[in-house]
Structure 1
C-alpha cells in the first residue's frame, strides 16, 4: 500500500503550472536529457532474487543531474527534495537506501546519467519513486555523494500534453580565488615560512610576532579536519646527523608557537630533513641562508 511522503511548507505555484523543485544553494546543473514522446523504466522495488521490479512509463521524459558543493550527507540531500515532491501531490511508491535497494545490482538496473554528470557511490545512495494519482505522472529521485560533493538526479515522466517538471537552480556565487595557504597548498602543496628567525646553531625560535605563524594558525583553526607537517632544513655545514636533529628541533619550535596561537597539536607534525633538500647552492652565504628554513606541507587525508 502506498503511503504519503512527509511534506514541508513550499511556496505554492499557480494552478496548472509545472511542478517546481527548489534545489539547495550552491547547486549547479551539470547534465541532462529530455525526450517527448519517450519512455523511462524506473525501479519500483528492490533487487531481489536476481531481478528488479521496473515500471515503464511513457510520456514526456526529463532527466537532470545536479552537483552540490559541501559535505552534506545523502539524507540531508534527500529529505528536503522528498518533502517538496510530497508537497506537490505525489504519493510515495517506493524508497530505499544503498544496501536495502540492492547495492550494485539495483544501481545498474536503472537509467542513470553517465559520469561525470551523475556520480553514484554504491555504498551511499538513496532512491525514491513517487506518482500523481492515476500513475501517469511519476518522479524518481536519486541522491549520492563523494567526500566533498553531493549529486542529485531527478527523473520525471508526464503526459505529452502536460508541461514537464521544472527545476530552479539558484545561481551560485563565483568562487573567490584561493589566497594565502589555500593557494600555496593548491598549487605547490607546501609553503616556506620565510620570516622565521633562529639563533645561529640553535633550535629555538627567536621571540617575535611572525605574520606567517599567525596566518598558518588561523588557517589550521579554520580547517580543523586538515593536517600539516612542518619540515626543518639546514645548510650543508657539518655532519648530517646533527643537522637533521637541529632541523627537527626548529620544526618543533614552530609547532609549539602555532599551538600557543590556538592551533590544535593533533593537526601538526614536525620533522627534520637536515641539508638533504636544499633550494639554493651551499657555496655562498646567501645560498646557505636560503637553505636554512622551515617549510609547511599539507598532509594528505587518508
Structure 2
C-alpha cells in the first residue's frame, strides 16, 4: 500500500507542470513600450494601500518579467482594460490579493512609493489609475503579478510585473492590432487653453510659468495658464486639483524633490492670493526628476522636464 501511494503521488507531481504560461489579450490594438526579463530578482509586490508613510508589500523572488503597453481603446479606458485583464487572470488561476482605485490606493503617495516605469514608457494619470496584485499557487514556485492601469487622451497604459519560476514562468500578450516596439520620443507641445487640455487628458502642463533663476519663487508675470485655471476653479468649486512640480535630472533626488515641491507651492500660493482660490481646491507636491517627459541627455529635454503640471484629483460635481 505504501509503495502504491508513493507511485500515485509521484505520478501526480510529474503530471503537474511547474507553472503555466500566462497569455493575455487586450481589448484593443496594443503597442508594447517596454519589455525586460530578469532571471532572478526580488520585487516588493504591493498588497495594501499607502498609509502611515509606506505601502504594505509582499516580497516575491524569482524570474521577473516587466512589460508595458499603450492600448488604443478610446476615452475613459482604465476600467475597461482592468476589468478585461482581471477576468483573464482569474480564468488563468490567479487569486486577487489586493485591488484599488486612485483614492483608495493612496493617490499620489501610492504611485510614487510603488515601482512604476517612467514616462513615456508608462503614463500614470494621478487622478485616474487602477492597481491590482494577485497570486497563483499550485506549482512548484508561487507566481505573483501586479497590474497598473491608467489613462491618456485616447489610450490606456498598462504595466505588468510577473514573478515566478526561473524555469517556467512566461508571458504572452495578444493585441487587437499589430504590436510594435516604439522608441520614446519628446512629446509635442499642446496648444489651446490649459483647461481644454486638462479636461481632455486629465492633466496639463503650465507651460508659460517662469521662476526666478535658481529660485522656487514664481515670477511676477501675468500667466495666462493661471488665469485660465483660476476661472475654471471658480466656476467649479467642487473640483480639486493637484499642482505637481518636476525638475530635470541634474543634482540630487532630495534636492530636486524639495525644489519641485516649493515651485508647486509657489504656484498654489499665487492662485490663492491673486485669484482667491480656496486652499481646499488646491494641493501642491513635487516629484523632482522621477517623472520626465523627455530625455535628460539633451538641453531641450531638460527644459521640457522643468515644469509644473496641474492634475484633476476630484471629479465630484
User: Quick one: structure 1 residues 173 and 152, their matched pair in 2 at CA, closer, same or farther if it must change by over 3 Å?
Assistant: closer
Q: Is there any run of 5+ residues in structure 2 with no aligned partner, and where?
A: 1-16, 181-190, 192-199, 201-317
Partner of 2:157: 151
Partner of 2:104: 100
Query: What secondary structure, in the 3-state scheme, does the structure 2 residue paired with 1:108 have?
Result: helix
Give the alignment's TM-score, normalised by structure 2: 0.48
Q: 1:21: how far off?
A: 0.6
8 Å contact 1:29–1:169 — kept in the other structure?
Answer: no
User: What is the CA–CA distance in structure 2 between the aligned matches of 1:60 and 1:173, rounded to whole Å?
Assistant: 24
How many matched pairs? 163
User: Quick one: structure 1 residues 170 and 74, their matched pair in 2 at CA, closer, same or farther if it must change by over 3 Å?
Assistant: closer
Q: 1:173: how far off?
A: 9.4
User: What is the CA–CA distance in structure 2 between the aligned matches of 1:58 and 1:173, rounded to whole Å?
Assistant: 29
Report the aligned-residue RMSD: 2.4
Query: What secondary structure, in the 3-state scheme, does the structure 2 residue paired with 1:160 have?
Result: coil
8 Å contact 2:31–2:179 — kept in the other structure?
Answer: no
Q: How does 1:79-90 map to 2 (within 5 A)?
A: 79-90=83-94
Q: 1:163: how far off?
A: 2.9
Q: How does 1:49-88 map to 2 (within 5 A)?
A: 49-69=52-72, 70-88=74-92
Q: 1:49: how far off?
A: 1.4
Give the alignment's TM-score, normalised by structure 1: 0.50
User: What is the CA–CA distance in structure 2 between the aligned matches of 1:149 and 1:65, rounded to whole Å?
Assistant: 13
| Greater gyration radius | 1
Q: 1:17: how far off?
A: 4.2
Residue 168 (1) aligns with residue 171 (2): no
User: Quick one: structure 1 residues 17 and 119, their matched pair in 2 at CA, closer, same or farther if it must change by over 3 Å?
Assistant: same
User: What is the CA–CA distance in structure 1 between the aligned matches of 2:32 and 2:160, rounded to whole Å?
Assistant: 11
Partner of 1:18: 21
Q: How does 1:121-136 map to 2 (within 5 A)?
A: 121-133=125-137, 136=142
User: What is the CA–CA distance in structure 1 between the aligned matches of 2:50 and 2:169, rounded to whole Å?
Assistant: 32
Query: What secondary structure, in the 3-state scheme, does the structure 2 residue paired with 1:71 have?
Result: coil
Q: Is there any run of 5+ residues in structure 1 with no aligned partner, and where?
A: 1-14, 175-188, 190-224, 226-302
Q: 1:72: how far off?
A: 3.7
Deviations 1:223-265 (A, max 9, x none): xx9xxxxxxxxxxxxxxxxxxxxxxxxxxxxxxxxxxxxxxxx
User: Quick one: structure 1 residues 51 and 164, their matched pair in 2 at CA, closer, same or farther if it must change by over 3 Å?
Assistant: same
Partner of 1:113: 117
